Structures are given as structure tokens and as C-alpha cells.
Amino acid sequence: MHILWAPWRMAYIKNASKTKTCIFCEALRMSDEDALVVFRSEHTIIMLNKFPYNTAHVMIAPKRHVPRPDLLTDEEALDMHKALSITLRTIDCEYAPQGYNIGLNLGKVAGAGIESHMHIHVVPRWSGDTNYMPVTASTKVIPEDLLVTFTRLKKAFSEVLSDTQSK
């Protein structure tokens, strides 16, 4: 059995059970910068993960508070799929990752930290982004400040969308 150690996530885990509000619903009421929202569409919100596994780790969530994708309307599901496509194009353009981990965790036993509001994690990956630091020093190196990532992605989303609309 292989074990993936992620000790830098303990700050999130310690506070997650204390949080009574939904971060996605809260983000809808906040400014983009305060909530780290890089894109909003009619039915979807895309925001940086404050406790990322990697630089440019984003979460795509429906604006409506639902726990599972089978509860989305067709319009919401299509909008989320489009948001995922735009996210991949945007991160490709801005960060040029060599791959992605993309996934949903539905239910607490499946690893959902926020089980009442479904969301898709998009984690860019590069060759060599996993190294000795987490194993030997219990430290994950995120090479870019979250606000720098926010600024880069916010601008890149805008550019990718204007390129898409002009074609």
C-alpha cells in the first residue's frame, strides 16, 4: 500500500469542523479578492483553494448549495462542465502544467471536507512537483503566494474568455 502524506493540510482539518458556514456560499457574498474567486459564470464559481495541494489548485462549485452532481439542473451541470473546460485552458495558458488531478469527493467518508456543497478540485501537476520535503520535513512547498496566483489566474481567465469569444 502506498500512502500519500499531506501534513500541511492539518491547519485546514483542525478548523474545518469548527466552520459552520459554507465557504462557497460565503464566497458568493464576498469580493473576488477576499474569497479568491477567479471566475464567476451564471451558475458556477471558481475559486482558489486556500489550502492547496499545488500552485493554481482551484475548486469549481455550483452557485446553488447542493451536495451531489445528480441534483444539479441540466443548465447547472453544463455550466460546470464549461467552467472545467475554461479552467483547463486558463491554467494551461498561464502555468503550462504537464497533467492534472481532477476530482469530486462526495460524502465525508470519501474525503469531502465540505460535504454539503459539491465541488470539483482541479490540481495542476508538473514533473518533479513532489519531492523530499513532505517526507523529510513535513512541509509542502507551494512556490507562489496565493494572492500572486489569484492575480495571475484572474487576468488569465479574462484573456482566455475574450480569446474564446472573439473566435
Q: Give the residue numbers annotated as catalytic, written as ranges.
A: 119
Straight-line distance from the first to the last Cα atom of the chain, in angstroms, rounded to the nearest whole number: 48
- Give 167: exposed, middle or buried? Use CB within 10 Å, 0-12, 13-18, 19+: exposed
State the CB neighbour count (10 A cutoff) for residue 96: 9
Residue bearing cell 469530486: 104
Tell me the longest C-alpha to C-alpha distance in the chain: 49
All three cell numbers of 37, joined, read 474567486
Helix (H, G, I), strand (E, B), or coil: what is residue 141?
coil
For residue 4, give the 3-state DSSP assignment. coil
